[in-house]
Amino acid sequence: KADGILIRSSDNTITGNTIRENKGDGIDLASIKNIEIAENEIASNTWYGIKMSGVTESRISENNLSENFYGVGLDGCGNNKIWHNNFLANIDNAYDDGSTNAWDNGTGTAEANGGNYWSDHTCTGNPSDGSEPYEIDADSVDNYPFEDPSGWVIKTPAVTIATDKEEYSAGETMNITVGLYNPASSPVNAYFVWNLSLPDYGYEWTMMVVPLAPLPAEFEQCYNFSLLIPDWGAVGFNASWTVALLEETAPYETICEDTADWRYVPAGSGRGVVEGEGGVKPAEVGEELKRRVEEEGVELPF
């Protein structure tokens, strides 16, 4: 048979590989210890996705094991931990003839947060509460399997901002898109912050700080609006929009943020920033843009 990866020495790490369609096993380990197998795609191997014989004190996590004959097989192994893996449509997801291997990492804390996802098992919760275990055999049980694939991944809100161009002159229209996303399965409360920065002047201006209405679960929406650029004189400057979501309670830590850089270019000057004296006062730029945002009536879920 032809294995994808065969190791016979201890203290090794196998990570970040795609291991597919081998005529033997995807990974074959024997008579060793302290092996880390993480973040691999292991699929469509003729026999085992991961085969371990006489292996101890090793860890298998964050792998996708799909359409192998066996997902993971442990023969004469002990004191290994297998958690946070997706077992997907293997003919037999797992085999373990020992009694001291752990198929979950407990539950109740950030460090102890469940077992694996099994495509041939139904349960509720990410992780489930212990009442719906997945039995590999009588001595090998995942006590806290996950309802969803990769259900252990923490899904956090996101905010984005983008402009349609990088340079603008007086009389041109800046089209801005703000995106709000909540991929989690529960609503999220946060503060929305929008800032303007003029780095050439060392200036920052807060356009908006408002509490969001709870972002619904699995929320995804983009908001488009336009600003007419006024005449700010003969000196160009660099600028940036920054949007962020902050936690709703002190100390108001940043959940996420995004930035869109742009430039003001005086009409007739050619593209690029024009250096010289007599530039606009930065506070005037901030006040004018804030006024125009308010006039535009930006409709976000506040």
Output the six-digit token pair for 155. 């899904």
CA distances from 71 to 173, 174, 278 (A): 56, 53, 70
pLDDT at position 275: 46
Q: Tell me the β-bridge partners of 64.
A: 41, 86
pLDDT at position 218: 87
Which of 39, 6, 28, 25 is CA-nearest to residue 69?
25
pLDDT at position 293: 74
Output the six-digit token pair for 132. 């719906």
The residue extents of the domains of the chain are: 5-142, 158-296
pLDDT at position 269: 58
Antiparallel, parallel or unpaired: β 191-198 and 237-246? antiparallel
DSSP 41-58: EEE--SSEEEEEES-BS-
Longest CA pairwise span in the chain (Å): 81
pLDDT at position 276: 43
pLDDT at position 274: 43
Total-model pTM: 0.67
Report the C-alpha gap between 67 and 83 in whole angstroms. 19
pLDDT at position 40: 99
- pLDDT below 70 — which residues of the chain? 1, 110-112, 268-279, 296-302
* Residues sharing a CB contact under 8 Å with residue 39, sequence separation 6 or more, in sequence order: 15, 16, 62, 63
Exposed/middle/buried for 282, CB within 10 Å: 0-12, 13-18, 19+? buried
pLDDT in tens, 1-19: 689 999 999 999 999 999 9
pLDDT at position 7: 97
Alpha helices per DSSP H over the chain:
282-296
Options 3.40.630.30, 3.40.50.1010, 2.60.40.3880, 1.10.1500.10; CATH for 158-296 is 2.60.40.3880
